[in-house]
Amino acid sequence: MKPIFRRWFQKGKTRIARRLDQTRDPLSPEPVLKARNIHYEVSDKTQAIHCGGIGLIHALGQRFGLAKTIDQKLHLLKFHVPYHESDHVLTLAYNPLCGGTCLQDLELLRNDETFLNALDARRIPDPTTAGDFCRRFLASDVEALIDAINEVRRRVWAEQPESFFDCATIDMDGTLVGTTGPCKDGMDIAYDGTWGYHPLVVSLAETGEVLSIVNRPGNRPSHEGAAREVNRSLVLCLEAGFRTVLLRGDTDFSQTQYLDGWNAIRKTRFLFGYDAVPTLVQKAEELPDHAWRRLTRPARYHVNTQPRRTPENVKARIVTEREYETLRLDSEDIAEFEYRPTACRQKYRMVVIRKNITRAKGEAALFDDVRYFFYITNEREWSADAIVFSANDRCHQENLHAQLKSGVRALRAPVDTLESNWAYMVMTALGWNVKAWWALSLPEPPGRWRDKYRQEKRWVLGLEFRSFVHAFVGLPCQVLRTGRKLVYRLLSWNPHLRVFFRLVETLNC
């Protein structure tokens, strides 16, 4: 970090530490929030924006050739007057990073002169033009855009340390995107009565990146089209240099007709949930007692100090008082056996969990129940416990879906057809991928601070989208031109700017 940055950072940290020091608090008869006589004025000379981190985001895209690659792969416009394809794509990707929640918020950005100056843009597309651009997409065009994003992704991965390529875990799942619009082409009614779409999301567990999104009608099953997207992501990871690739999915994705093909690919492992069909339940019940052993799950987190007193479980008390029927998990047992699905030519490892459950009504136990959960895999080196824990970790993808819905707001259907909404999902989800690339681009120089820098990198990767925006993008900035430089002058301090300036120096901004 430059000396001037270091001094400014230290001054800001010292000032805020003094304000937050409780030992300096005097006994005050007035509330803390006591601002009075507030006036508003305007400035003709000083120009500032609320999202000063967008400049670093744009510089990151330039370093990896994001705009250039998109223009090379995607051809939708006959004439570029004035916008290119990359202008539309990046505008939709930057919108959530700058606090936008829908297409209409583009109107606020395009009417902000300082924002346009910050990106050296004469103008950006308005919401109507952006919607028209989405409607130009065919399925082949969306796939071309995904390929362009994946090409940039490989460049980001190429700069990662050797340990990054130990294993790539590809998760897949579907999620419902509801809509109240009655005229959206391609929508259908889902199993729970929701009208809308049922997109498939394929992601990389280690970084949270969205590798692929495929939009489908709401009535389609979760696994439809999954094998094709998995193969695309599998080739991407293997060509990028990952030494092992693990495919994970729930019971809907245990597509047995593809297991032999994936097993034949060296370095490829799969782990899927499997339906508890009567044949498998019978095989589990016929296992001898010595084949079973108790499954002990690790603690959810480690207590560094003294454990706190557990508060009263209000839900459990109400359920007991009103004598509702409830299921209580008593214990879990684990076993494994060899199994060959009907569509496969060879046997695979089947891990089974036997959950011992008590059905109770109030405080009275009614009867015991036993339920079986199955996992099929070609991984032979892991223990059965590790197989189960890895399969349970796949549920973290539900958090990714929540971020894409409520954080980035990519899983929305603001346009009028299946393909146009698919394009909107892919372009807006690029904002989430840029957040991951931002974290992956943080340097890990050798030396005594390497472990700290690596921990900060993992922390940024794990941030929720809104937290990332508030910490690294929503920075009040003065924007000015001096000589041949476009200068972003930060106007306030926050405790995360030390990490921010590490990336600034890496990109030579």
pLDDT band at 34 (very low <50, low <70, confident <90, very high): confident
Cβ-Cβ contacts under 8 Å for 130 (sequence gap 6 or more): 88, 91, 92, 103, 106
Q: 198-202, 314-318, 472-476: which range is least confident on average? A: 314-318
Class for the domain spanning 139-295+317-407: alpha beta
Measured CA to CA, the distance from residue 179 to residue 184 in angstroms comes to 9
Q: What is the rounded average pLDDT of the residues 341-349?
A: 93
Is residue 215 within 8 Å of residue 236, measured between CB atoms? no
* Residue labelled with tokens 């050798």: 446
Is residue 295 within 8 Å of residue 333, measured between CB atoms? yes
Residue 340: helix, strand or coil by DSSP? Answer: coil
Which pLDDT score, from 0 to 100, does residue 269 have?
Answer: 95
Measured CA to CA, the distance from residue 176 to residue 332 in angstroms comes to 32
Which pLDDT score, from 0 to 100, does residue 463 have?
Answer: 95
Q: Which tens digits make up the pLDDT trace of 209-252?
A: 999 999 999 999 999 999 999 999 999 999 999 999 999 999 99
First to last CA, the chain: 12
Measured CA to CA, the distance from residue 85 to residue 82 in angstroms comes to 10
Please give the full DSSP string across 346-394, using - where no structure is assigned: S-EEEEEEEEEEEEEETTEEEEEEEEEEEEEE---SS-HHHHHHHHHHG
What number of residues does the chain have? 509
Cβ-Cβ contacts under 8 Å for 300 (sequence gap 6 or more): none
Is residue 316 within 8 Å of residue 246, measured between CB atoms? no
State the pTM of this model: 0.92
Q: Which residues pair with 108 in a beta bridge?
A: none
Cite the residue boundaries of each domain of the chain with CATH code 3.90.350.10.
139-295+317-407
Q: Which tens digits make up the pLDDT trace of 100-133?
A: 999 999 999 999 999 999 999 999 999 999 999 9
